[in-house]
Amino acid sequence: MTTFTTRFAPSPTGYLHLGHAFSALLAHDAARKANGRFLLRLEDIDETRCKPEFETAIIDDLRWLGIDWDETPLRQSERRAIYETHRQRLEADGLLYRCFKTRKEILEDIARAPHGAGEGPDGVIFIGAPLAQDEEQRKLANGESFAWRLSLKATREKLGVAYDALTFIETGESHCGEKIAQPDLMGDVVLARKDLGVAYHLAAVVDDAVQEVTHIIRGEDLFASTHIHRLLQELLNLPAPSYQHHALILDPDGKRYAKRDQSVTLRALRAERKSPEDVRRLIGL
């Protein structure tokens, strides 16, 4: 019988806030109730924003909340070679292309589109294509920055009818049931960058498989990402966990909490002598 396994995977780019506490406690409580495993993963691949002091604070705040985890926390910064192996596999299958466009150029392209491409969870929905070989080589020779993007066109051609038949199980209240994966909601997402290496989508999918995660419990803001994650699982022959996307914790103005909201960080609440039980009451647990 497969052991119920879930995880909390924060990025150490700031202090944990009430929204993080909600996700972490939901996942931790679910694992303990099922006599399963709860894992901590530190998604610290962005070296420019991730700081050791934030990692220390995350661990301290989680322990203060009464959260414990099984196994040593996994650090993505230590696994770059593993992610690169998977990226190379997708490249060898002809599913990736180098995109040299800046965000500004992408926004300008979309503004010129006849009907507009709309907005996706990662910003704009971008569909691109590989450059001509001579132009690409010229840009590489000039040392221009680029991102490795997953080509939805190429993946559709590779999978055929299976592309539109991918499904995932959602147990969250808002989206409960078997869902048809719709990768087109995300466009040609970035899977790696020349300067930073692997990006979120690829690293998360690979690590969920390595850690044998069976249930992913996270905020509703990541629901759309699940569609592209399900596609990556299929392309890399990785298992598909079930998903539970919970409602977001909102401030009095109806906005979701962010790391810049220093007044609602767990660190600030602790300074006000709030208790872990107070935090549970604040977030409805």
Please tell me the distance from the alpha carbon of residue 172 to that of residue 248, in angstroms, as a whole number: 12
Query: Tokens 């995350």 appear where?
Result: 58
Our answer to whether residue 104 is catalytic in this structure is no
Of 158, 179, 259, 274, which one is the catalytic site residue? 259
Q: If you ran DSSP here, which 8-state letter would residue 146 be given? A: -
Amino acid at 77: S
- Please list the alpha-helical segments (H only) found in 69-163: 80-92, 103-112, 133-141, 152-159
Q: At what angle do helices 52-65 and 18-33 cross, to 10 degrees?
A: 50
Strand ranges for 36-91 from DSSP E: 37-42, 74-75
- H or E segment at 245? strand 242-246
Q: Which of 46, 47, 27 is nearest to 37 (CA)?
A: 27
Q: Catalytic residue positions?
A: 259
